[in-house]
A = this chain, B = another copy of it.
Amino acid sequence: MKLTSKGRYAVMALVDLARFDTINPVSLRDISLRQGISLDYLEQIFSKLKKNQIVKSTRGTQGGYVLSKKPNEIKLTNILNAVDEKVKTVQCKKESKKGCNGKATKCVTHNLWDELETHINTFFEKKSLQDLLKNNSERVN
């Protein structure tokens, strides 16, 4: 399973976006400055977020990014999947009958990792951007 700064940055940036995109699109430069993330790296990340329809972009002066859905409709799963931070705990191909070691049968730990995967995914599916906003600004609706 992976949880690296790419995923972390993606979430941070989107929380920032959710806070500030109410009037105008938010430029990556602003996010970069506010959150302390390299601009060039942000561009890579937002390129993926855009491909996955999590954000929309406007080019040109005064351009920037806007969320393409409401914060409560964007789940953490969506974000992490978008930037390729798939939660993958089992080693083998799940569909295959074969185990991770190439043997004919699933390994002794297969069920364990599978359970864990579900456990984590459930967590990410329940959490939305909205939850993070609430959590952090103490003031919501």
Which residues of A does B touch, CB under 8 Å? 1, 3, 5, 8, 11-12, 15-16, 35-37, 76, 89, 91, 101-103, 107-109, 111-113, 115-116, 119-120, 123, 127, 132, 135-136
Contacts and interface: CB of A to CB of B under 8 A. Distances in A.
B108 A16 contact: yes
B135 A112 contact: yes
Given A91-B8, A101-B36, A103-B36, A109 B123 contact: no
Contacts of A101: 35-37
A132 B103 contact: no
Nearest to A1: B3
Copies in the complex: 2
Nearest to A120: B120
A119 to B, nearest CB: 5
A132 B120 contact: no
Interface of A is mostly: helix
A3 to B, nearest CB: 5
Which of A3, A76, A101, A136 is packed against the most chain B CB atoms within 10 Å? A3
20 contacts: A1-B1, A5-B91, A8-B91, A8-B109, A11-B112, A12-B109, A15-B108, A35-B101, A35-B107, A36-B101, A36-B102, A37-B101, A76-B112, A108-B132, A108-B136, A111-B132, A112-B132, A112-B135, A115-B123, A116-B123
Contact of A89 (B3, B108, B119): B3
